[in-house]
Structure 1
Amino acid sequence: MQEALNDLENSEILSREQAALLRRIYGRELFSVHWELRLLLYGGILILTTGLGLLVAKHFASIGHLTLLAAIVLGGLACFAYCLRNGGGFSPERLAAPDAAYDYVLLLGCLLLGTLQGYLELRYQLLAQNWNWWLLVSALTYLLCAHYFDNRLVLSLALSTLGAWLGVKTSLLGARPWDGGLRDNALFFGVLVVGAGVIQARLGWKRHFLPVHLHLGVNVLLAVLVAGVGPSTAGATYLAGLLLACSCSALYALRDRSFAFLLYSVLYGYLGITTFVFNRGHWSSEGIILYFLVSAASLLTALVAVHRRFRSAE
């Protein structure tokens, strides 16, 4: 590498300053802290909004309703004003963030909006038993913000909130965790998220949002199918659907060189098959231990080998 840099510098393809910078990078004198800073920003915003929510829940009577309401509203307005002033406006294409804090300021504004809705419901009981509709309002608002400001963090928040609304709505109807009704709604939600992302990408509308849709939708679909494999009488049907979904995820991973989707297909497929086998057979303790030793070792070996192939292909 050093010889190549010397040749490029002697050939005047690189200036002396450029070559010196590349030598420092190659010698690991310089390294990026980009993701560390983003993680700190993300964690700081989550801690801030969590603390604010706890403050509202426990001390809103002593601090004063108007004071808390004004603080939350002004904080949210300040965040959205910052994004409107510094953002480039709406575009169906990908927009570069004007600065490192832009995405996180928008996320903070959206979380403050959610805190405001929770405060209003806690204080004034505006929707009472229908409080779950606040989740739908939040999800639609977050979707609008994600598309207007081109923010994948807020898109993840919007899709998660939409899924939470659907789950809470079903639970209020008396559904128990992972029973038939809740599984059906979760399957519908997973298909909806994946389908919306694919259609949006095909239409050329925010193509870079597709991975967010796929990661969330595929995980929901596979988790629901694994849950259906268990004690359900339709366990074989769920297992067949799980294997089909895992195959599609693996094919997508191989086509787009995305190891995450291959990992999803392998892990969820393993969980589904293991659940199906143990729920429909009588196993001794020795057989269970042997099964996990052999299967887990084989699975880990295969994943390491495939990951090395993915790395070498890059």
Structure 2
Amino acid sequence: MQDVLNDLENSEILSREQAALLRRIYGRELFSVHWELRLLLYGGILIMTTGLGLLVAKHFATIGHLTLLAVISTGCAACFAYCLRHGGGFSPGSLATPDAAYDYVLLLGCLLLGTLQGYLELRYQFLAQFWNWWLLASALIYLLCAHYFDNRLVLSLALSTLGAWLGVKSSQLGTGLWDGTLRENAVFFGALVVAAGATQTKLGWKRHFLPVHLHLGVNVLLAALVTGVGSRAAGSAYFAALLLTSSGSAFYATRQRSFAFLLYAVLYGYVGITIFVLDHAHRSSEGIILYFLVSAATLLTALVALHRRFRSAE
């Protein structure tokens, strides 16, 4: 590598400064901490908003309602004002981020808005037993912000909030965890998120949002199908749907060279097959132990081999 850089510098393809910079990078004197800083910013915002929510819930009576409303509202308005001022406006395509803080200021504003909504309902109980509609309102506002400000962090927050609202609605019907209506709604929600992302991409609308839709939608869909494999009423149907969905995820992974979707397909598929086998096969302690030993070793070997194959194809 050093010889190549020397040749490029001698040929005046690279300037002395450019060649020196590349030598420092190649010698690992310089390295990027971009993603580490982004992770710290993201974690800091989550911790701050969580702490603010706990503060509001525990000490709102002593601090004062108007003071809390003023502080949260001012912080939320300041965040959105910053984004409106520095953002490039709406575009169906991808927008360049104006600065490093932009995405996280928007995320902070959205989380403060959610805190404000929760505080208003806690204090004044506008919707009483229908408080879950605050979740739906938050999800729709986050979706609007994600598309207007072109922010995938807020899109993830919007889709997660929408899923939470659907789960709360299902739990109010008296269903248990992953039982009946809740499982069906999870299957519907996962399929809807994937379909929405695919439709947007086909229409040329925010195509770079597709990975967010697929990662969330595929995980929710596969998880819901796995929990249905063990049900007595429609276990076989859920198992068939799981195999079909896992195959689709694996096919997408090979087309797009994305190991994550292959990992989803293999892991969820393995869990579903295990549940199906244990429910329908003759059970013995020796057979179960042998099954887990052989299947786990095969699964691990296959994942390592597939990961190396994906790495070599990049």
TM-score of the aligned structures, taking structure 2 as reference length? 0.99
The answer on whether the counterparts of 1:90 and 1:148 sit within 8 Å (CA) in structure 2 is yes
Q: Indicate the residue corresponding to 1:298 in structure 2.
A: 298
> Partners in 2 of 1:281 and 1:306 — Cα distance?
29
- Which amino acid in 2 is paired with 1:285? S
- Once the two structures are superposed, residues 86-108 of structure 1 have per-residue CA deviations (whole angstroms, 9 ceiling, x without a partner) of 11111111011111111011000
Q: Indicate the residue corresponding to 1:205 in structure 2.
A: 205
Q: Indicate the residue corresponding to 1:64 in structure 2.
A: 64
The answer on whether the counterparts of 1:9 and 1:16 sit within 8 Å (CA) in structure 2 is yes
Deviation at 1:187, TM superposition (A): 1.1
- Once the two structures are superposed, residues 110-165 of structure 1 have per-residue CA deviations (whole angstroms, 9 ceiling, x without a partner) of 00000000000100011000000000000000000000000000000000000110
> Partners in 2 of 1:279 and 1:118 — Cα distance?
44
Q: Indicate the residue corresponding to 1:188 in structure 2.
A: 188
Give the count of matched residue pairs. Answer: 314
What is the alpha-carbon root mean square deviation over aligned residues? Answer: 0.8
Deviation at 1:280, TM superposition (A): 2.2
Secondary structure of 2:204's partner?
coil
Secondary structure of 1:88's partner?
coil
Secondary structure of 2:66's partner?
helix
Deviation at 1:178, TM superposition (A): 1.2
**Are 1:172 and 2:166 an aligned pair?**
no
Deviation at 1:282, TM superposition (A): 3.7
The answer on whether the counterparts of 1:45 and 1:108 sit within 8 Å (CA) in structure 2 is yes
Q: Indicate the residue corresponding to 2:128 in structure 1.
A: 128
The answer on whether the counterparts of 1:231 and 1:279 sit within 8 Å (CA) in structure 2 is no
Secondary structure of 1:202's partner?
helix
Q: Indicate the residue corresponding to 2:157 in structure 1.
A: 157
Q: Indicate the residue corresponding to 2:310 in structure 1.
A: 310
Q: Indicate the residue corresponding to 2:33 in structure 1.
A: 33
> Partners in 2 of 1:304 and 1:232 — Cα distance?
35
- Which amino acid in 1 is paired with 2:74? L
- Which amino acid in 2 is paired with 1:206? K
Counterparts of 1:39-54 in structure 2, within 5 Å, are 39-54=39-54
- Which amino acid in 1 is paired with 2:307? H
Secondary structure of 2:222's partner?
helix
**Are 1:246 and 2:235 an aligned pair?**
no
> Partners in 2 of 1:287 and 1:141 — Cα distance?
53
Deviation at 1:254, TM superposition (A): 0.1
Q: Indicate the residue corresponding to 1:234 in structure 2.
A: 234
Deviation at 1:286, TM superposition (A): 2.2
- Once the two structures are superposed, residues 4-42 of structure 1 have per-residue CA deviations (whole angstroms, 9 ceiling, x without a partner) of 101100100000000000000000000000000000000
Runs of 4+ in 1 over 6 A off after TM superposition: none
Secondary structure of 1:30's partner?
coil
> Partners in 1 of 2:199 and 2:22 — Cα distance?
42
- Once the two structures are superposed, residues 36-81 of structure 1 have per-residue CA deviations (whole angstroms, 9 ceiling, x without a partner) of 0000000000000000000000000000000011000000001001
- Which amino acid in 2 is paired with 1:133? W
The answer on whether the counterparts of 1:140 and 1:158 sit within 8 Å (CA) in structure 2 is yes
Deviation at 1:185, TM superposition (A): 1.0
> Partners in 2 of 1:17 and 1:289 — Cα distance?
62
Deviation at 1:183, TM superposition (A): 1.3
The answer on whether the counterparts of 1:90 and 1:147 sit within 8 Å (CA) in structure 2 is yes
> Partners in 2 of 1:281 and 1:307 — Cα distance?
32
Q: Indicate the residue corresponding to 2:86 in structure 1.
A: 86
> Partners in 1 of 2:265 and 2:104 — Cα distance?
31
Q: Flag structure 2 segments of 5+ consecutive residues without an equivalent.
A: none
The answer on whether the counterparts of 1:250 and 1:262 sit within 8 Å (CA) in structure 2 is yes
Q: Indicate the residue corresponding to 1:3 in structure 2.
A: 3
> Partners in 2 of 1:169 and 1:233 — Cα distance?
23
TM-score of the aligned structures, taking structure 1 as reference length? 0.99
- Which amino acid in 2 is paired with 1:259? F
The answer on whether the counterparts of 1:253 and 1:260 sit within 8 Å (CA) in structure 2 is yes
The sequence identity of aligned pairs, in percent, is 82
Deviation at 1:170, TM superposition (A): 1.2
